[in-house]
Amino acid sequence: MTPLLAQLEALSGWRRRGLLAVLGSLAALALPPLYVLPVLGLSFAGLALLLGSAASRKSAFATGWWFGLGFFTAGLYWISNALLIDAARFAWFIPFSLFGLSGVLAIFCGLATLLSWLICRKGVGSALALAAAWVLLEWLRSFVFTGFPWNLIASIWVPVLPVLQSEAWIGPYGLGFLTLWAAIVWPLIFRDRSARHRLLAGLPFLILLLLGLSGLMRLQGGDVAMTDDVRLRLVQPNIPQTLKWKNELRFQHLLKLIELSQVASDLPPTHVIWAETAVPYILDHDVQARLAVAKAAPANGLVITGAVRTTEPGLEPYQIWNSLLAIDESGLIRGVFDKYHLVPFGEYMPLKSILPLKKITEGATDFSPGPGPLTIDLPGLPSVGPLICYEVIFPHAVAEPGKRPDWLLNLTNDSWYGISTGPYQHFATARMRAIEEGLPLVRVANSGISGVIDPYGRVVAQLGLGQEGILDSRLPKPLNEATIYARTGDVPSIGVLILLLIVLKFMVCHTGFSSIRYP
């Protein structure tokens, strides 16, 4: 070991914690939209080095926790922008939101390093254990505490579509494991090791290369036809969130949406799509507002919009939903979908009896969840799987089980987060879901990024962040058959990771296989 590495390994106290937080922050540079991929190898190799010097379970957990604090603080800083929309009420909460959320999510990182440390602390085996444990805890993060699988490690491959195609086979957790294995084990390739250790250290790179070549072949044979007689118009009004719900501006916002929807085009739309909560009226009870929306509907077509929906006036208990409504040219509601995965603190307040706070979205009443992923049929369209806001970030949870839709539709409003990395990360995640499910995905956002994505994750058309305008596009067709991942989900990849950790613990890490100290 070089003197520098020995000094780093010997760090303690705040120097060690600070270095871990910096390494975690560096790892976030590999995420969308920066994609500085080499820093992932630097940061996770550093994490593995420091984890190897942990002297106790507490130290092993703290190693991952401080790394995770840096990783999530740098990767999710933009969430605090939402608290500036009503700064007078919520700006004071920014430090608690930023570091509190990051600190909670960092628990998963601490548990990952603790699990890895308990299983294997040396050599190639320790690299495998850390990669497997990290991704296993990523998977747990997708459903524990209502779930928040944002910025999965696999998302670093979004600009490298041939490699990202492997999600259709092994999903984001399988790809994430191979990525981290390579990011952690690479220093061992350059050490004076036996041929066996060099081969094992280079194995993840070989697998990623083969997956990339397979993905390239998949893309070369991936011609996608367009759906006949369906022409979509995506409307992106770019209304600032600070103005969106002002009573004196509500009708002006609605007129803007209607005018954009009626712009003449060489590709006249059959269906117009607006973003999440685009209409600032309760459409299911406001006939006049619904008739105004209907003016934007093409002949024999629909306006599909996000809007708040409520129970009938006077009906108890009073409930509200964050919904998608499909409205025809006569003003009739032809389809409804209610968001089922609500945002804690944004759409409802958890632990209301303990926390004397109100949700940051408009109104005092918490939103109610819908029944879950659904496939719905709308006039003139192939069957669709609606997703509202961050429902698109959950792997293998975007389509109704047993009833595969022909396309996915994601309505969202990222204007809460301004010009930041958040909307880019959200859009990148949508591309991952398209590949995993083998389905085209249409994304409509108030301020961007709106776009049409084919079932291979390729962007057919796009309207950028912070732009006002319309996007006219055909609708790509889905793949003829569901992908392997869409059929099997996470069971194979998570099962393999659990089996690998068991094998490492009981059959490998007490043998000469891992007798070489990392790195």
Q: Say if residues 162 and 210 touch (Cβ distance below 8 Å).
A: no
> Phi, psi at residue 515, to the nearest 5°?
-75, -15
Q: C-alpha 496: how far from its chain's center?
A: 23
Active site annotation includes 276: yes
Amino acid identity, residue 232? Answer: L
Q: Is 293 helix (H, G, I), strand (E, B) or coil?
A: helix
Catalytic residue among 138, 276, 347, 436: 276
Based on DSSP, count helices (H) and strands (E) in the chain, helices before strands: 16, 11
In total, the chain counts a number of residues equal to 519
Q: Is 324 helix (H, G, I), strand (E, B) or coil?
A: strand
Active site annotation includes 509: no
SS3 for 443-466 is EEECCCCEEEECCCCCEEEEECCC
Q: Bridge partners of 271?
A: 232, 302
- Could you write out the DSSP letters of every residue in 207-266? HHHHHHHHHHHHHHT---PEEEEEEEEEEE----HHHHT-GGGHHHHHHHHHHHHT---S
Active site annotation includes 122: no
Q: List the structure tokens of 290.
A: 């619904």
Distance, in Å, from the CA atom of 138 to the CA atom of 311, rounded to the nearest integer, reads 37
Catalytic residue among 339, 359, 391, 477: 339
Give the list of residues 6+ apart from residue 514 with CB closer than 8 angstroms, or none: 120, 122, 123, 124, 125, 126, 508
Q: Say if residues 519 and 197 touch (Cβ distance below 8 Å).
A: no
Catalytic residue among 109, 120, 138, 389: 389
Q: How far is CA 68 from CA 32, 44, 153, 180, 497, in A?
A: 17, 11, 13, 15, 21
Q: How far is CA 153 from CA 62, 75, 136, 164, 471, in A?
A: 21, 12, 12, 12, 31
Catalytic residues: 276, 339, 389
